[in-house]
């Protein structure tokens, strides 16, 4: 009911989440009444949302937060509630704007490919026509298999701010791995299409629920961050554990996720002994590295060098371990190093150059430095 969303807004505002950038309170499917009103407008379920969506939006806004809502481009939502057919796109966009909604996720159940090809761009146009800034999350590519030629990512990036490419996440490690595998297998297509204002969305963070161990929770956070994923939590903030909260509120992690360049990372190494390495380029010639173990037996000591990971020759880096905070100074590209990675766990590094070859230096504006991030 609406009580859940009022209480989540309180938790976001009072428990440090909002100040770290977690600002959206998003309602999923099943919020509406089973029928539209006499004028054909969507209405919230009168028993579960007796004060209405506008009142909830006002409450959320008063706490420095934003409200997201769910719709579906079809005859029904996935849960069987009224959908947004093509003739109702403008009406529903206007309704959401009048309520003060700040984000719309538009699903694709009970619609055809042709209706989606017309309806998703039509909703973008209708949202813009309201004059209210509304982040637009599309499920369009997920219903087309997620890949070209069925999905035209050039058009998608012009229409949507973020999009679901693949299956819904479940509260399990197997689900996290299946999503990671699909994104990694198709990274040559997916990685270049992400950027500021248009993001691939591998679905929600399930950290704090029941399906992931501590190590797996740390892994999902690191891997979603290196993939430049929108960080949308799906957990009860009233009862979230201290360890899950610590992972989700890691300041350096969030800084890396929100890097202004907006470049999505890639898997750059896949070892036969089940260690994988992911790299995300960041602003000011910094980088994020994730060393990920798919092993299930024991901690594994992985030996490599930045040279093997194709970092520039003759550079020297300061390294900060994103989880432990430990600093490694003066790491040269050619230096060998080792990291101990727990089973289904990660080691994540934030690296920034302190001495660089000329071709990196030339990319920097005069006077740009690389201060360490000490948190």
Active-site residue set: 107, 168
64-76 core/surface letters (b: 16 or more CB in 10 A; e: else): ebbbbbbbbbbee
Using DSSP's 3-state secondary structure scheme, residue 337 falls into strand
CB-count burial class (<10 Å; 0-12, 13-18, 19+) for 363 = exposed
Strand ranges, E, within 14-169: 24-26, 66-72, 103-107, 135-138, 162-164
Instruction: With beta carbons less than 8 A apart as the criterion, state whether 36 and 54 touch.
Output: no
Using DSSP's 3-state secondary structure scheme, residue 198 falls into strand
Q: Which two tokens stand for residue 297?
A: 């037996």
Cα separation, 171 vs 208, in Å, equals 10
DSSP secondary structure code for residue 171 in this structure:
S
Q: How many residues does the chain have?
A: 375
Cα separation, 346 vs 275, in Å, equals 10
Q: Which two tokens stand for residue 30?
A: 């099943």
Cα separation, 143 vs 166, in Å, equals 8
Q: Which two tokens stand for residue 179?
A: 């999503």
DSSP secondary structure code for residue 205 in this structure:
B
Give the H or E element holding residue 20.
Answer: helix 17-20
Cα separation, 25 vs 74, in Å, equals 24
CB atoms within 10 A of CB 189: 14
Instruction: With beta carbons less than 8 A apart as the criterion, state whether 135 and 174 touch.
Output: no
């Amino acid at each position: 009911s609406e009580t859940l969303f009022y209480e989540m807004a309180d938790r976001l505002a009072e428990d440090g989440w909002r100040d770290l950038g977690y600002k959206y309170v998003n309602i999923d499917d099943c919020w509406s009444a089973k029928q539209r009103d006499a004028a054909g407008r969507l209405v919230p379920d009168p028993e579960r949302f007796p004060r209405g969506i506008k009142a909830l939006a006002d409450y959320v806004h008063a706490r420095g937060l934003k409200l997201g809502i769910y719709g579906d481009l079809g005859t029904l939502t996935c849960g069987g509630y009224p959908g947004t057919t093509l003739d109702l796109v403008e009406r529903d966009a206007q309704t959401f704007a009048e309520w003060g909604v700040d984000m719309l996720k538009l699903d694709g159940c009970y619609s055809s490919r042709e209706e989606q090809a017309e309806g998703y761009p039509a909703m973008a146009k209708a949202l813009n026509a309201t004059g209210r800034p509304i982040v637009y999350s599309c499920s369009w590519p997920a219903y087309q298999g997620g890949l070209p030629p069925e999905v035209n990512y050039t058009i998608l990036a012009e229409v949507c701010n973020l999009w679901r490419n693949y299956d819904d996440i479940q509260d399990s490690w197997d689900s996290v791995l299946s999503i990671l595998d699909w994104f990694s297998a198709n990274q040559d297509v997916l990685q270049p299409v992400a950027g500021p204002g248009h993001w691939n969305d591998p679905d929600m963070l399930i950290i704090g629920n029941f399906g992931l161990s501590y190590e797996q929770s740390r892994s999902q956070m690191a891997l979603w961050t290196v993939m430049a994923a929108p960080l949308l939590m799906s957990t009860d903030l009233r009862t979230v554990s201290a360890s899950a909260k610590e992972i989700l509120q890691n300041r350096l992690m969030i800084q890396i996720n929100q890097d202004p360049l907006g470049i999505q990372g890639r898997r750059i190494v896949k070892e036969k002994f089940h260690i994988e390495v992911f790299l995300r380029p960041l602003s000011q010639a910094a980088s994020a590295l994730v060393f990920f173990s798919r092993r299930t037996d024991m901690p594994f000591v992985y030996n490599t060098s930045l040279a093997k990971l194709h970092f520039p020759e003759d550079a020297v880096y300061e390294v900060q371990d994103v989880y432990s905070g430990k600093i490694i100074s003066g790491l040269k590209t050619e230096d060998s190093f080792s990291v101990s990675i727990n089973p289904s766990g990660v080691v994540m590094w934030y690296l920034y150059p302190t001495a660089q070859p000329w071709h990196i230096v030339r990319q920097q504006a005069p006077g740009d430095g690389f201060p360490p991030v000490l948190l």
